[in-house]
C-alpha cells in the first residue's frame, strides 16, 4: 500500500495521513516509513507531543509487518525524533522542532472587530438572555425521541413536527390561519426572499415601504427585482399609492424602522387591492411578539390567507444564531416554493427544527417571549425616562413595540449626531440609512433621526449606554453645548 489514512481510533482516536509514494529511496518499506515520519515532523505536520498510532494499528493499515513499524519507531526514537514511554505510547519529541514553519496568515483586522463600547444597533436581541437550559432540554428530548429517518435527507418543506407546532402557535399568538401543509421552513427572512424571487416564484416590480432594510433591497436588486417605494405617514404605508405592482412587502405589525402598526383601514384596503389585482402581500412579521402598550396586533394574513405570504423567524424572539424561519403560503405557491428549494433540505438543520418544535410545544418558547417582553419593555421605559431627564427636546417614536426606538432630531443634525455617538463609543444607525434611494419629496419628506436598539446591550451595560447616548444628542435651544 503506497498511501494510507492511518486509523488509530483503537488507541488514540486520531487519524494520521502518510504518503509512502513520496518517500522513494533505498532501504525498502522500513526506510520509506522512516523518511515519511521524519518528513512529517520536520515539516511541522506532526507537532511536538503528538501521539502516534500503536505500531500494530499502523502496520495493519499500511499492510506491512509489525516489526517494520516497530523498527521504524525505534530508529526515530534513537535519533531523537520520537519518544517512547511505558503507558504513554510513542510521541513526537518535544524538542523535535520543524526546520520550516509555515508563515502565519495575517489578516487585516476590520475596524469593528473589537466592537464598540456601547452597541445600540437595531435588530439583535440580548445575546446573554438566550435560554440555554430550556433549549438544551428541548434538544435532548428531540434527539432522544427522533426517529431514525431524521438522520437521512431532510424534507424541503421542513419537519412536520415543527410545522404542526407553528400552526398552533401562530394561530394562537399572531392570528394566522393555516395548516402544516402550507408552511415551508427556511433559514430566515432573507432566505425566504431568495426562494420567492430568485427562482421566479414571484416577479417584480415589488412595492416596498419608503423606509426599510437596505440589505433586503440589495438582495432583491441582485435578483433583478425593482423595488418601488410607498410613502409613509402616521398610519403606516400609503397602500392607496399601489399602482401596477403585483406584489407589496409590508411590516404591518410594527413598521421598520419608523414604528407604528398599519392602520386597520389600510389593512383592509391592501387586501382588497390584492384581490382586485390578483396580487400578493408579503408580510414581514419580524418582531410581532413584542408589543408593550396593548395586545399584539394580529397578522394581515388572517384577513385573507390566499393573498398573503406570512414570513417570520426566531432571529428577534430567540437568536439570529438559530437559523430558522418560516413561510406561511397561499396554496397556489406551495409547490413552486418547494421546487425552488430543491428535493432535500439544504439550509435549516433538522435537529434544530426538532428542538424548536419541542421548545414551542413544551411552552418554553411562550415563557421566554413573555420574559423578554418584560425585559425589553423595562429597557424602553428607561430609555424614555433618560431622554425626558437629559434631552427633553428629543421626541421618541416607535416605542409601543419592538426592540428599537427612533429619536427624532432637529433638522440637519442627524449626521453630526451619528458622528458624536461614534466619539462616545456608540454604534447606532441614522434614519437616512434606511431610506429608499428613490423616495423623493414631497411624498416622503426627509426625517432626521437615529435608530436606537434597546435590546443588544447586556443588562449590566445598558445604563452606561444610555448615559453615553444622552451625551451624544444635540442640545436644546436653551441648553449649553456639550463638549
Q: From residue 171, give the alpha-carbon distance in Å to each of 56, 165, 175, 183, 429.
A: 63, 10, 5, 13, 34
Q: Which stretches within 314-461 are classed as H helix?
A: 331-341, 350-361, 364-390, 414-423
Separation CA 467–CA 48 (nearest Å) = 52
Backbone angles phi, psi at 81, to 5 degrees: -75, -35
Residue-level pLDDT at 226: 94
Strand partners, 15: 7
Residue-level pLDDT at 64: 80
Q: From residue 194, give the alpha-carbon distance in Å to each of 201, 218, 219, 352.
A: 10, 11, 8, 21
- Per-residue burial over 19-58, b = 16 or more CB atoms within 10 Å of its CB, e = otherwise: ebeebeeeeebbbbbbbbbbbbbeeeebeeebbbbbbebb
Strand partners, 284: 311
* pTM, to two decimals: 0.81
CA 280 distance to own-chain centroid: 26
Strand partners, 118: 426
Residue-level pLDDT at 39: 86
Is 432:83 a contact under the CB 8 Å cutoff?
no
Residue-level pLDDT at 378: 94
Tell me the HSE value of 323 on the side-chain side, using a 13 A CA sphere.
10
| Residue 340 DSSP SS3 | helix
Residue-level pLDDT at 467: 94
Separation CA 473–CA 409 (nearest Å) = 8
Separation CA 154–CA 149 (nearest Å) = 9
Tell me the HSE value of 245 on the side-chain side, using a 13 A CA sphere.
25
Q: From residue 329, give the alpha-carbon distance in Å to each of 176, 223, 325.
A: 11, 21, 13
Tell me the CA end-to-end span of the chain in Å, nearest whole number: 76
Please work out, in degrees rounded to the nearest 5, the angle formed at the alpha carbon of residue 387 by the alpha carbons of 385 and 389.
70
Separation CA 274–CA 332 (nearest Å) = 14
pLDDT along the chain (483 residues), means of 10: 44 60 64 86 86 82 81 87 83 69 53 73 90 97 93 92 97 95 96 92 94 92 93 93 93 92 95 95 92 82 97 95 96 96 86 97 96 93 94 91 93 94 94 91 84 90 94 76 43
Separation CA 68–CA 1 (nearest Å) = 14
Interhelix angle 462-472/414-423, rounded to 10 degrees, is 130
Q: Is cis: bond before 315, omega within 30 of 0?
A: no
Enclosing H/E stretch for 216: helix 214-222
Is 35:41 a contact under the CB 8 Å cutoff?
no
Enclosing H/E stretch for 266: helix 264-277
Nearest to 168 by CA among 3, 326, 58: 326
Separation CA 251–CA 122 (nearest Å) = 15
Amino acid at each position: 500500500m503506497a498511501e494510507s489514512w492511518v486509523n488509530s481510533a483503537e488507541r488514540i482516536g486520531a487519524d494520521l495521513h502518510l504518503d509512502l509514494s513520496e518517500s522513494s529511496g533505498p532501504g525498502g518499506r522500513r526506510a520509506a516509513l522512516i523518511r515519511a515520519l521524519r518528513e512529517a515532523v520536520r515539516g511541522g505536520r506532526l507537532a511536538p507531543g503528538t501521539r502516534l498510532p500503536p505500531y500494530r494499528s499502523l502496520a495493519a493499515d499500511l499492510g506491512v509487518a509489525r516489526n517494520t513499524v516497530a523498527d521504524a519507531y525505534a530508529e526515530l526514537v534513537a535519533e531523537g525524533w520520537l519518544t517512547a514511554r511505558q503507558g504513554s505510547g510513542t510521541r513526537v519529541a518535544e524538542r523535535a522542532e520543524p526546520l520550516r514553519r509555515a508563515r502565519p496568515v495575517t489578516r487585516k483586522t476590520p475596524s469593528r472587530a473589537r466592537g464598540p463600547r456601547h452597541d445600540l444597533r437595531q435588530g439583535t436581541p440580548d445575546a446573554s438572555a438566550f435560554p440555554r437550559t430550556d433549549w438544551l432540554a428541548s434538544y435532548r428530548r428531540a434527539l432522544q425521541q427522533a426517529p431514525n429517518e431524521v438522520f437521512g435527507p431532510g424534507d424541503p418543506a421542513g419537519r412536520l413536527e415543527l410545522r404542526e407546532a407553528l400552526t398552533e402557535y401562530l394561530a394562537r399568538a399572531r392570528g394566522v390561519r393555516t395548516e402544516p401543509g402550507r408552511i415551508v421552513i427556511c433559514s430566515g427572512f432573507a432566505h425566504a426572499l431568495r426562494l420567492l424571487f430568485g427562482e421566479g416564484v414571484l416577479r417584480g416590480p415589488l412595492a416596498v415601504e419608503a423606509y426599510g432594510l437596505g440589505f433586503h433591497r440589495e438582495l432583491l436588486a441582485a435578483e433583478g427585482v425593482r423595488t418601488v417605494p410607498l410613502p409613509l405617514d402616521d398610519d403606516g404605508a400609503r397602500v392607496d399609492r399601489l399602482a401596477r405592482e403585483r406584489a407589496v412587502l409590508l411590516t404591518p405589525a410594527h413598521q421598520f424602522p419608523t414604528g407604528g402598526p398599519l392602520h386597520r383601514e389600510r389593512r383592509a384596503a391592501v387586501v382588497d387591492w390584492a384581490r382586485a389585482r390578483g396580487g400578493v402581500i408579503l408580510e414581514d412579521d419580524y418582531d410581532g411578539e413584542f408589543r408593550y402598550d396593548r395586545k399584539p396586533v394580529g397578522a394581515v394574513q388572517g384577513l385573507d390567507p390566499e393573498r398573503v405570504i406570512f414570513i417570520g423567524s426566531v432571529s428577534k424572539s430567540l437568536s439570529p444564531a438559530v437559523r430558522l424561519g418560516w413561510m406561511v403560503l397561499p396554496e397556489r405557491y406551495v409547490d413552486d416554493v418547494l421546487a425552488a428549494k430543491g428535493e432535500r433540505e439544504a439550509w435549516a438543520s433538522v435537529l434544530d427544527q426538532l428542538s424548536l418544535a419541542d421548545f414551542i410545544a413544551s411552552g418554553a418558547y411562550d415563557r421566554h417571549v413573555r420574559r423578554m417582553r418584560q425585559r425589553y419593555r423595562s429597557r424602553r421605559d428607561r430609555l424614555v425616562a433618560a431622554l425626558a431627564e437629559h434631552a427633553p427636546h428629543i421626541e421618541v417614536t416607535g416605542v409601543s413595540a419592538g426592540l428599537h426606538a427612533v429619536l427624532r432630531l432637529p433638522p440637519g443634525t442627524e449626521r453630526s449626531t451619528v458622528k458624536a455617538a461614534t466619539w462616545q463609543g456608540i454604534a447606532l444607525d441614522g434614519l437616512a440609512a434606511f431610506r429608499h434611494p428613490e423616495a423623493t419629496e414631497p411624498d416622503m419628506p426627509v426625517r432626521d433621526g437615529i435608530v436606537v436598539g434597546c435590546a443588544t446591550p447586556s443588562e449590566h451595560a445598558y445604563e452606561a449606554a444610555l448615559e453615553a447616548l444622552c451625551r451624544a444628542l444635540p442640545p436644546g435651544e436653551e441648553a449649553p453645548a456639550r463638549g
